[in-house]
Amino acid sequence: MSRKTLTAVALLLTIYIAFMLPSVTVAYRMPPGYSGTPIKYGGWLIGKVYMEIRHYMQAIPWAKITITSTDGATTKVTSTNGQGGYRIYLPPGEYKVTVSHSRYTQEYDVTIREDQIYRILNIIIERPDMPEFQDRLAHNK
């Protein structure tokens, strides 16, 4: 290697280190308003609501969904969209999900963890007036 090439490479390396190294070593600053306590993230509760109508499972639009935490501190109400789907954001915790449509009600227990992005809960509303549930009605009398 000639002396001129070696000198040019050394000069370029010095310039690179002088301009790039300080930008890499700048100390990280917390964003404004950061309190130092970690945020407890929850997740989305998503799914669809179905009911058997005339021997076919059909999505139920505009069903009312009530979500209550087990300690009673949080209550959220939503409804399904036109295709029977729903989505609601919940902080981590234990919840009771109640779905009601017409005169039918279905309940589920759900846990949302802190590291959970989403939880799928597809709901099938059981109709006690259907022939396959008649044995349950006979035992309740």
What's the confidence (pLDDT) of residue 116? 81
Give the β-pairing of 43-53 and 118-120.
parallel
What's the confidence (pLDDT) of residue 141? 47
Model-level pTM?
Answer: 0.62
**Which CATH superfamily is 43-126 part of?**
Immunoglobulins (2.60.40.10)
Residue ranges per domain, the chain?
Answer: 43-126
Could you list the mean pLDDT of each consecutive 10-residue stretch along the chain, which spans 141 residues? 80 75 57 62 90 86 94 92 93 94 90 87 81 52 47
